[in-house]
Amino acid sequence: MPGESPRDFVVRPNGKDVYVSGDVALVHLNTATPVPKVLRTITGTGFVDELALVPDGRLYALSKPDGHAALVDLTHDSVLTTIDFRSDFSPVLSPAVSEDGTRMYMLVDDQRTAPKVLAYDTATNTQAADETVTGFDVERASGLTVGPDGESMCITSANDVEDPGVYLQIVNFRRPGLGSGSGRAGGAGGARVELPRRTACARGVNTKGVHPPARPWHVCQRGRCLG
């Protein structure tokens, strides 16, 4: 493969077209043969860290250092446009596309203020400001994925000061303007976050002692084990 540092990959629904990000370009592989074959090197993306596949056949290829993403047409393996996803010059990472393909979510964590998730309309590639998700019960965040129901997301996170440890937090959120009948109508203040639903305690202990091995997953509230 071209380059020296592959970083991320996605597989198209056909199971044979694989795209790998790296230090020089986006590489298109065909895995239908015993030895995967490089079909094309898409150099127009430049340096790429993380990838997010859109159901309609497009791909967001994010470069974390500068917060830009190339939007790639996978039918022709060509760059459609370049988008600036920077949020007040704060680092962006871990792009994730909703199951219906209408939203692309981006995690923002500048290591100084609380992490948040920005929402972008994939039809216009503009930010949906009233859908920003905030209020996470963690100090730092490093990874993001969106649930298939379109109303939940998971973030991997860490606390350095209060309850130090590494956590997985699952939150519910609601998108404004979808109608109360859908059960996803958001309030005027933006996305509504329910914290937390279920999470994993990194240390596996609380003031009462160690949790039994049969219960590695348990309910926690604000990082404190309840059961």
| Measured distance CA(107)–CA(116) in Å, rounded | 6
Q: What is the pLDDT of residue 212?
A: 38
* Residue-wise pLDDT tens digits, 85-103: 765 667 788 999 999 999 9
Pick the CATH number of 1-84 from 3.30.750.24, 3.40.920.10, 2.40.10.500, 1.10.220.150: 2.40.10.500
179 sits in the region (left: phi over 0; alpha: psi -120 to 50; else beta) called left
Domain ranges of the chain: 1-84, 88-227
Question: Helix (H, G, I), strand (E, B), or coil: what is residue 65?
Answer: coil
Q: What is the pLDDT of residue 211?
A: 39
| Among the listed residues 1, 11, 82, the one whose alpha carbon sits nearest the alpha carbon of residue 40 | 1
Mark the ranges of the chain whose per-residue pLDDT is less than 70. 3, 65, 86-89, 176-227
* Residue-wise pLDDT tens digits, 109-131: 877 788 889 999 999 999 988 88
**pTM score above 0.75:** no
Q: What is the pLDDT of residue 219?
A: 39
- Find out whether 53 and 62 touch, Cβ atoms under 8 Å: no
| Measured distance CA(177)–CA(181) in Å, rounded | 11
Q: What is the pLDDT of residue 60?
A: 96
| Measured distance CA(150)–CA(142) in Å, rounded | 20
| Measured distance CA(72)–CA(123) in Å, rounded | 14
Determine the distance from the C-alpha atom of residue 56 to the mean position of all C-alpha atoms in its chain, rounded to a whole number.
18
Q: What is the pLDDT of residue 87?
A: 59
User: How many Cα atoms sit within 13 Å of 80 on the Cβ side?
Assistant: 16
